[in-house]
Amino acid sequence: MLKQKGYIGGLVTLVAVALLVVFVWVNSVQGQADELIGVVNTQAVFTQYLAGPLFEARDQLQAEYDEKAADMNDEEAAKLFMEYQTKLEALEMEYSNNVVEAVEKVAKVKGLEVVLDASAVLQGGIDITEDVIAALQ
Protein backbone atom coordinates (compact mmCIF):
# COMPACT_ATOMS: atom_id res chain seq x y z
CA MET A 1 0.00 0.00 0.00
CA LEU A 2 2.80 2.39 0.93
CA LYS A 3 4.64 1.61 -2.31
CA GLN A 4 1.46 2.32 -4.30
CA LYS A 5 0.97 5.67 -2.54
CA GLY A 6 4.57 6.59 -3.40
CA TYR A 7 4.00 5.67 -7.03
CA ILE A 8 0.79 7.71 -7.22
CA GLY A 9 2.42 10.66 -5.47
CA GLY A 10 5.34 10.51 -7.90
CA LEU A 11 2.97 10.31 -10.84
CA VAL A 12 0.96 13.29 -9.61
CA THR A 13 4.18 15.27 -9.13
CA LEU A 14 5.36 14.35 -12.62
CA VAL A 15 2.05 15.42 -14.17
CA ALA A 16 2.09 18.70 -12.23
CA VAL A 17 5.63 19.47 -13.38
CA ALA A 18 4.74 18.58 -16.98
CA LEU A 19 1.71 20.88 -16.91
CA LEU A 20 3.80 23.67 -15.42
CA VAL A 21 6.39 23.29 -18.18
CA VAL A 22 3.63 23.32 -20.82
CA PHE A 23 2.02 26.45 -19.34
CA VAL A 24 5.37 28.25 -19.17
CA TRP A 25 6.18 27.18 -22.72
CA VAL A 26 2.77 28.26 -24.05
CA ASN A 27 3.20 31.65 -22.39
CA SER A 28 6.64 32.01 -23.95
CA VAL A 29 5.32 31.42 -27.48
CA GLN A 30 2.37 33.77 -27.30
CA GLY A 31 4.02 35.95 -29.91
CA GLN A 32 3.82 33.13 -32.46
CA ALA A 33 0.77 32.81 -34.63
CA ASP A 34 -1.96 30.51 -33.33
CA GLU A 35 -1.88 28.83 -36.73
CA LEU A 36 1.34 27.03 -35.76
CA ILE A 37 -0.10 25.44 -32.62
CA GLY A 38 -2.64 22.64 -32.68
CA VAL A 39 -4.63 21.24 -29.81
CA VAL A 40 -6.17 17.80 -29.40
CA ASN A 41 -8.79 16.83 -26.88
CA THR A 42 -7.26 13.48 -25.94
CA GLN A 43 -10.26 12.65 -23.74
CA ALA A 44 -12.52 12.84 -26.81
CA VAL A 45 -10.06 10.73 -28.81
CA PHE A 46 -10.04 8.15 -26.02
CA THR A 47 -13.82 8.08 -25.82
CA GLN A 48 -14.42 7.90 -29.57
CA TYR A 49 -11.49 5.74 -30.69
CA LEU A 50 -9.77 3.89 -27.87
CA ALA A 51 -12.40 3.12 -25.26
CA GLY A 52 -14.62 0.73 -27.22
CA PRO A 53 -11.96 -1.61 -28.59
CA LEU A 54 -9.89 -1.59 -25.40
CA PHE A 55 -12.85 -2.28 -23.13
CA GLU A 56 -14.02 -5.01 -25.48
CA ALA A 57 -10.55 -6.59 -25.54
CA ARG A 58 -10.30 -6.32 -21.75
CA ASP A 59 -13.66 -8.01 -21.28
CA GLN A 60 -12.78 -10.77 -23.74
CA LEU A 61 -9.41 -11.40 -22.10
CA GLN A 62 -11.04 -11.39 -18.65
CA ALA A 63 -13.60 -13.98 -19.76
CA GLU A 64 -10.88 -16.18 -21.25
CA TYR A 65 -8.78 -15.81 -18.11
CA ASP A 66 -11.70 -16.65 -15.82
CA GLU A 67 -12.48 -19.77 -17.83
CA LYS A 68 -8.88 -21.02 -17.94
CA ALA A 69 -7.92 -20.02 -14.39
CA ALA A 70 -10.87 -21.84 -12.81
CA ASP A 71 -8.97 -25.14 -12.86
CA MET A 72 -5.52 -23.73 -12.03
CA ASN A 73 -3.66 -23.33 -8.78
CA ASP A 74 -2.76 -19.81 -7.60
CA GLU A 75 0.72 -19.85 -9.14
CA GLU A 76 -0.51 -20.96 -12.55
CA ALA A 77 -3.36 -18.46 -12.43
CA ALA A 78 -0.94 -15.64 -11.57
CA LYS A 79 1.29 -16.57 -14.50
CA LEU A 80 -1.71 -16.68 -16.84
CA PHE A 81 -2.89 -13.31 -15.51
CA MET A 82 0.49 -11.77 -16.36
CA GLU A 83 0.27 -13.18 -19.90
CA TYR A 84 -3.16 -11.63 -20.40
CA GLN A 85 -2.02 -8.36 -18.85
CA THR A 86 0.89 -8.27 -21.31
CA LYS A 87 -1.51 -8.86 -24.23
CA LEU A 88 -3.76 -6.01 -23.09
CA GLU A 89 -0.81 -3.65 -22.63
CA ALA A 90 0.44 -4.48 -26.14
CA LEU A 91 -2.98 -3.68 -27.54
CA GLU A 92 -3.09 -0.39 -25.61
CA MET A 93 0.35 0.50 -26.98
CA GLU A 94 -0.76 -0.29 -30.53
CA TYR A 95 -3.80 1.98 -30.25
CA SER A 96 -1.75 4.73 -28.57
CA ASN A 97 0.80 4.57 -31.38
CA ASN A 98 -2.05 4.89 -33.89
CA VAL A 99 -3.18 8.08 -32.13
CA VAL A 100 0.34 9.53 -32.19
CA GLU A 101 0.67 8.72 -35.91
CA ALA A 102 -2.72 10.32 -36.65
CA VAL A 103 -1.75 13.49 -34.75
CA GLU A 104 1.55 13.66 -36.65
CA LYS A 105 -0.24 13.16 -39.98
CA VAL A 106 -2.86 15.85 -39.31
CA ALA A 107 -0.25 18.27 -37.97
CA LYS A 108 1.87 17.84 -41.10
CA VAL A 109 -1.11 18.38 -43.43
CA LYS A 110 -2.16 21.52 -41.54
CA GLY A 111 1.39 22.86 -41.23
CA LEU A 112 1.39 22.82 -37.43
CA GLU A 113 4.68 22.98 -35.60
CA VAL A 114 3.36 22.02 -32.17
CA VAL A 115 0.37 19.99 -30.99
CA LEU A 116 -0.65 20.05 -27.33
CA ASP A 117 -3.32 18.36 -25.30
CA ALA A 118 -6.31 20.70 -25.16
CA SER A 119 -6.44 20.39 -21.37
CA ALA A 120 -3.06 22.17 -21.16
CA VAL A 121 -4.07 25.12 -23.36
CA LEU A 122 -6.00 27.99 -21.84
CA GLN A 123 -6.39 29.99 -25.04
CA GLY A 124 -5.52 29.81 -28.72
CA GLY A 125 -4.38 27.10 -31.05
CA ILE A 126 -6.23 25.19 -33.74
CA ASP A 127 -8.41 22.32 -32.54
CA ILE A 128 -7.58 19.27 -34.65
CA THR A 129 -9.46 16.73 -32.52
CA GLU A 130 -12.08 15.87 -35.15
CA ASP A 131 -9.40 15.60 -37.85
CA VAL A 132 -7.41 13.17 -35.68
CA ILE A 133 -10.51 11.06 -34.97
CA ALA A 134 -11.31 11.02 -38.69
CA ALA A 135 -7.74 9.94 -39.49
CA LEU A 136 -8.12 7.03 -37.06
CA GLN A 137 -11.29 5.71 -38.73
Query: What is the number of other CB atoms lying within 10 angstroms of the CB of residue 129?
Result: 19
At 132 the pLDDT is: 94
pTM (2 d.p.): 0.64
Mean pLDDT within 6-22 = 55
Per-domain boundaries in the chain = 1-31, 33-136
More confident residue, 125 or 24: 125
Domain 33-136 falls under CATH 3.40.50.300: no
Q: Which ranges of the chain would DSSP assign to H, the alpha helix? A: 2-28, 42-45, 51-69, 74-110, 129-136
Q: Give residue 2's pLDDT.
A: 43
Over residues 96-126, the pLDDT tens digits come to: 899 999 999 999 999 999 999 998 888 888 9
Question: With contact defined as beta carbons under 8 Å apart, do 119 and 39 qualify?
Answer: no
Query: pLDDT tens, 34-62?
Result: 568 999 998 898 888 888 888 888 888 88
Mean pLDDT of the chain: 80
Burial class (CB in 10 A: 0-12, 13-18, 19+), 46: middle
Q: What's the confidence (pLDDT) of residue 47? A: 87
| C-alpha–C-alpha distance, residues 79 and 74, integer Å | 9
Handedness of CA 14, 16, 19, 23 (dihedral sign): negative
CA atoms within 13 A on the CB side of 108: 7
